[in-house]
Amino acid sequence: DTAVSQTPKYLVTQMGNDKSIKCEQNLGHDTMYWYKQDSKKFLKIMFSYNNKELIINETVPNRFSPKSPDKAHLNLHINSLELGDSAVYFCASSQGGAVNQPQHFGDGTRLSIL
Amino acid sequence: KQEVTQIPAALSVPEGENLVLNCSFTDSAIYNLQWFRQDPGKGLTSLLLIQSSQREQTSGRLNASLDKSSGRSTLYIAASQPGDSATYLCAASNYGGSQGNLIFGKGTKLSVKP
């Protein structure tokens, strides 16, 4: 069973479109995250979220918004896509904010903007 | 602001060799230091998590050490195998902000030749 699953695996779309990436975890974790890995393979946190608190990295444009319908899901919605949004987006989860527990990652969604 | 650096960026070794990957961080106020493995086209797999109060963690052929005072961690891989070929990432989890947010290095790409 896949612990953290993301869909779609690949997403090709045009500039200006709005798109969503879905993430689900079946680990019973209380905290979920979104990371962006750029073309140079540098991985940076975008959001962390549990049922109490959303922490946003201040460098993330407000075109990006996480939406959590329930504890097991954290979807990423992106408005007005730009060329610079092309990257691999990873969802992750952990229990208790990963102070003592490792984060578990999905396989990523490769977003390409035409 | 935490910065994580990994040296070398790439490493190629013959099978069977013992090797060390290096990670340094600028802010010693960390909750933990984590090592991950990333295979091409895949997400990250957690290898070892060292809490700030610990000096090292071991799992099989892997041993990770942590020296907070000098801002360094090493990942030791014994008797390397071709299957160890991957990119290895270290990440620091800091006090302040979201406890679970990981600050990643850019990784060391390891190639183990048969």
**DSSP assignments along A38-74, one per residue:** -TT--EEEEEEEESS-EEE-TTS-TTEEEE-SSTTB-
Judged by CB atoms closer than 8 Å, whether chains meet at A43 and B34 is answered as: no
Separation of alpha carbons B76 and B59, rounded Å = 10
Res. A97 pLDDT band, cuts 50 70 90: low
Chain B contacts to A (CB-CB under 8 A): 31-32, 34, 36, 41-46, 49, 51, 87, 89, 93, 97-104, 106-107
Does residue A48 register a pLDDT over 80? yes
- Contact residues, A window 49-88, toward B, CB-based 8 Å cutoff: 53, 55, 57
Q: State the pairing for strand pair B62-67/B10-14.
A: unpaired
- Pick the residue of A103, A104, A107, A110 with the most B CBs within 10 A to test the interface with B by mutation: A103
What is the predicted pLDDT for the residue at A47? 87
Give the mean pLDDT of A81-102: 86
Judged by CB atoms closer than 8 Å, whether chains meet at B106 and A41 is answered as: yes
What is the predicted pLDDT for the residue at A28? 92
Using a pLDDT cut of 70, give the percent of chain A over it: 92
What is the predicted pLDDT for the residue at A1? 64
Judged by CB atoms closer than 8 Å, whether chains meet at A98 and B102 is answered as: yes
Judged by CB atoms closer than 8 Å, whether chains meet at B98 and A104 is answered as: no
Separation of alpha carbons A29 and A32, rounded Å = 8
Q: Are A91 and A67 in contact (CB under 8 A)?
A: no
- Pick the residue of A34, A95, A105 with the most B CBs within 10 A to test the interface with B by mutation: A105
Separation of alpha carbons A62 and A56, rounded Å = 10
Name which of A4, A103, A107 is nearest B100 (Cβ-Cβ).
Answer: A103
Does residue B85 register a pLDDT over 70? yes
Neighbours of B16 (CB within 10 A): 11
